[in-house]
């Protein structure tokens, strides 16, 4: 299978993620518990799977299959496997697809968190415009999944656990342990009240943008 679509056109038709309780206060134990949760996800992936309405996670093959991209009306591609040696945007010349590349390494020591906000903003703008987004890396289980989880936390106001529950039912993903720690840190920041303003919300039409407070 190449692309697997699941969600109806209406966002309101999507069931809420199943509630799971995991204590993230102990980072070491939290990573272990999150991995256990992730292992209960979808066993067999397509090249690309719809994990949120109009948002796909996929592998490199899904990103270069221009016929499937056209058939599924993909309008935006976020490549977490971008390389300066090759311009991924060239794949989409003449296709009216907006491309955003992030040069990231699937290593526990790589700081993916510096890309969380920019990736979330790219995905949010695309979906707000009615677009269809493919976020991919080489295999579509670690780097791309990490960025989608961060988007769901920053823009859809999900906790990390709820974001994982939403994604894993539609695609089996397993961010490396370093990425999981960074997502735990993001979750902690989003859940920590700001000294002055708590958590800020910027309302844009019917959606809201969740910001991290870094001291006031």
Structure token digits, residue 88: 């991924």
Catalytic site residue 194? no
Q: Which helix (H) or strand (E) holds 5?
A: none
- The two most distant CA atoms of the chain are separated, in Å, by 51
Q: Which residues contact 148 (CB under 8 A, 6 or more apart)?
A: 51, 52, 55, 57, 123, 135, 167
Give yes or no for a contact between 52 and 73, defined as CB atoms under 8 angstroms apart: no
Structure token digits, residue 94: 């003449």
Structure token digits, residue 79: 């490549």
Structure token digits, residue 92: 């989409």
Of 108, 137, 194, 208, the active-site residue reads 137
Residues acting as catalytic residues: 137
């Amino acid at each position: 299978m190449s692309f697997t679509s699941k969600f109806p056109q209406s966002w309101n038709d999507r069931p809420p993620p199943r509630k799971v309780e995991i204590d993230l206060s102990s980072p070491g134990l939290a990573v272990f518990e999150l991995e256990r949760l992730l292992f209960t996800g979808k066993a067999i992936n397509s090249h690309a799977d719809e994990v949120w309405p109009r948002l796909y996670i996929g592998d490199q093959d899904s990103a270069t299959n221009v016929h499937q991209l056209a058939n599924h009306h993909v309008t935006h591609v976020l490549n977490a496997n971008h390389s300066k040696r090759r311009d991924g945007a060239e794949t989409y010349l003449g296709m009216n697809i907006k491309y955003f590349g992030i040069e990231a390494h699937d290593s526990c020591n790589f700081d993916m968190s510096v890309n969380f906000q920019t990736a979330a903003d790219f995905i949010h703008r695309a979906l707000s415009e009615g677009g269809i987004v493919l976020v991919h890396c080489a295999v579509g289980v670690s780097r791309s999944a990490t960025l989608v989880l961060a988007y769901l936390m920053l823009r859809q106001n999900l906790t990390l656990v709820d974001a994982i529950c939403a994604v894993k039912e539609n695609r089996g993903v397993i961010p490396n342990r370093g990425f999981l720690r960074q997502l735990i840190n993001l979750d902690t920041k989003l859940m920590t009240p700001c000294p002055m303003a708590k958590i800020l919300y910027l309302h844009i039409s019917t959606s809201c943008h969740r910001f991290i407070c870094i001291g006031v």
